Structure 1
Amino acid sequence: MTDVTIAMLRAFCDAVEQRDGRAFAELFTAGGVYHDVFYGAFAGREKIAAMIDDWFYRTATDFRWDMHEPVSDGTTLYARYTFSYRSTLPEANGARAMFEGVAIMTLKDGKIAGYREVANTAPAFVDLNFAPERIAKIVAKQGAELKSRPEMQRHLA
C-alpha cells in the first residue's frame, strides 16, 4: 500500500474523530458521494461535511475510527475498519458502541469519488441498550435498502 493511501485513510479517520467535516469533505471529489450505513447517501462536499459535523455528532461523541489491511488497485480501495463512539441517546446511558466493517472507496485523481460500507451493526445496537423491537426495525430497513440495490437483483432471483 502506498504512503499516500495510508495518509489519506489516516486523514479520513482523524477528520471524523476531530469533528472536522470540512477536512473530511476535502478528501472527496467535488461530486463525491458518501453512502452511510445508518443515514444514507450524502452527495457533494457541503453535504458530506454536514454529515460529519451535524449527523454523526447529533447523538454521539468520542469517535474512534481505524482502517486495517487496505488493498487498492488504484481505482478501488478496500479496507477493513473498526469504528466506535460514545452514544448520547438516553437509553444508551453513555455506552460505547463498537462495530466493524469494510470500507469500499472508488478513487479518482487521488480523491474519493464514492464511499460505501458493509458493516455488522447489530452488536452496536445491543451495546446501546436498544430494545429488541427497535433492533428488528433497523435491521429490516437495512435489509430492504440492500435488496433495492441493482447489483443485488441477480442474487434475489
Structure 2
Amino acid sequence: MGEAPMTTTAMLRAFCDAVEQRNGRAFADLFIKDGVYHDVFYGAFAGREKIAAMIDDWFYRTATDFRWDMHDPVTDGTTLYARYTFSYRSTLPEASGARAMFEGVAVMTLKGGRIASYHEVANTAPAFVDLKFAPERIAKIVTRQGAELKARPEMKRHLA
C-alpha cells in the first residue's frame, strides 16, 4: 500500500518549512518527478533535481533567514490556491542586511497528491524598496516580471 496523501495544510507547511530550513530535497519531494516550479525572480526549474538546487543554491545565494507562510488555501483537488507572505534577509551589498517582505498568491496544479506545477503572482516592488534598489532598477524588474507572467499560456485563464 502507498502512503496516504498529505492534507493541504500539511503539504503547505512542509513546503514552507523546507525553504526555511534550506532543505531542497524535502521541497523537491513535494513535486511529481517532472514537476516545474516557476519562480517570480529566477524563472522555471523543471524536475526534482533542479527544484532542489533552486532552494539549496539559488534562493540562498543572496538571501538568508527565510520566512514563508501560506494563508487561506482553497483547492478542488486539482488546483490549489493560497495567499502567502514571504520574507528574507538580503545579503546583497546595497541592502545592508535589510529584511525584504512581499505578498503573493501561489497557484499549484496537483497530481496524485503532489505538485505538478507551481506558479505565483506576487507584489515584489515593496521588497525591492526594502532592499534599497534604485527606482530605475525596480521598474525594469517589475516590467520584466509582468511580461514573463503574461507570456505563460497556463496563466492566461488566471489573468483574464
**TM-score band, normalised by the shorter chain?**
over 0.9
Question: Is 1:23 the counterpart of 2:26 in the alignment?
Answer: yes
For residues 11-37 of structure 1, what are the alpha-carbon distances to aligned partners after superposition, in whole Å with 9 as ceiling and x for unaligned? 000000000000000000001000000
Determine the C-alpha separation between the residues in 2 that align with 1:103 and 1:149.
15
* Structure 2 equivalent of residue 14 of structure 1: 17
Equivalent position to 1:125, from 117, 128, 144: 128
TM-score normalized by the length of structure 2: 0.92
Question: Is 1:145 the counterpart of 2:158 in the alignment?
Answer: no
| Structure 1 spans left out of the alignment, 5+ residues | none
For residues 31-88 of structure 1, what are the alpha-carbon distances to aligned partners after superposition, in whole Å with 9 as ceiling and x for unaligned? 1000000000000000000000000000000000000000000000000000000000
Question: Is 1:38 the counterpart of 2:33 in the alignment?
Answer: no
| Identity in percent | 83
Equivalent position to 1:111, from 99, 114, 117: 114
Letter of the 2:67 counterpart: R
After TM superposition, what 4+ stretches of structure 1 lie above 2 angstroms from structure 2?
Answer: 149-153
Moved more, 141-150 or 126-135: 141-150
| Structure 2 spans left out of the alignment, 5+ residues | none
Q: Is the 8 A contact 2:37 2:46 kept in 1?
A: yes
**What is the RMSD computed on CA atoms of the aligned residues?**
1.8
Instruction: Report SS of the residue matched to 1:19.
Output: coil
Determine the C-alpha separation between the residues in 1 that align with 2:27 and 2:64.
17
Q: What is the count of residue pairs matched by the alignment?
A: 154
Moved more, 60-69 or 3-12: 3-12
Displacement after TM superposition at 1:152 (Å)? 4.0
Letter of the 2:46 counterpart: A
Displacement after TM superposition at 1:103 (Å)? 0.4
Moved more, 135-144 or 26-35: 135-144
Distance 1:17 1:130, change over 3 A: same
Q: Is the 8 A contact 2:103 2:122 kept in 1?
A: yes
Displacement after TM superposition at 1:3 (Å)? 6.9
